Amino acid sequence: MLFAALLVAASLSPVTAQPEQDWSEIVRGDPATGLVALTFDAGAEAGTAAPQVIQILHDRGVKATFFLSGNWVSRYPTLAEQIKEDGHEIANHSLTHPDLTRLADNQIVFELDYTDQVVWDTLGVHTRPYFRPPFGARNARVLSVAAASGFRSVLWTLDSADWVTRATPGAVADRVLRFAQLGDIVVEHVASQATAEALPTILDTFEERGWRVGTVSDVLGLPRYDPT
């Protein structure tokens, strides 16, 4: 009888619902945060622009999100270490910067998981939960495979167009300042000299507007995850 009573009591006990993980693609943050998220993709090259970008953010005390490829981290471990030491959010940009829609499922998993391992081995942090597909190339299959590996896609609200062959600092600054709104996620490239030279103007103008700059987590209003 006692056993039966316990079974009945257990069946009547309230079950605490676990919050369901949101794997939907991120393209915009929350304007109520008063923030704009600056994000920097690092695919293969660094040039002289990457140290310049990192130094400007360091001098201004600005935190951003860096989407790093595994090959970039392996090639520029000192720069990657500086990004971590400055407190920036580190996310995944694949290993070899391929078009993920052209890869098999297991190849997609390898691109993301191996990059996470490279970053862990080099910096002692992980890249989950955020990744950005190279070229913005993704489909439902890519997003599903990535989610199964613990990665949520982050696209952007505003493309700075700093990747255009003839991009200039003036054009990049004008585009960002003309179209940016609170809650936006802006994509730039760490190797772009145009971005490196436009960045002080962008940060100064945002400050004049009373806008703050932060990471993807910040602009979503989410706490920073523990990368260790």
Catalytic residues: 41, 189
Helix (H) or strand (E) holding 173: helix 169-179
Cβ-contact 154, 185 below 8 angstroms: yes
- CA-CA-CA-CA dihedral for 58, 61, 63, 67, to nearest 10: -10
Nearest to 105 by CA among 131, 142, 71, 74: 142
C-alpha angle 85-91-94 in degrees, rounded to nearest 5: 125
As given in the structure block, the two tokens for residue 179 are 């179209």
Which residue's entry shows tokens 């609170």?
182
SS3 of residue 40 by DSSP: strand
What are 158's strand-pairing partners? 186
Q: How far is CA 129 from CA 47, 117, 175, 177, 206, in A?
A: 28, 14, 29, 29, 28
Type of residue numbered 94: S
Cβ-contact 220, 50 below 8 angstroms: no
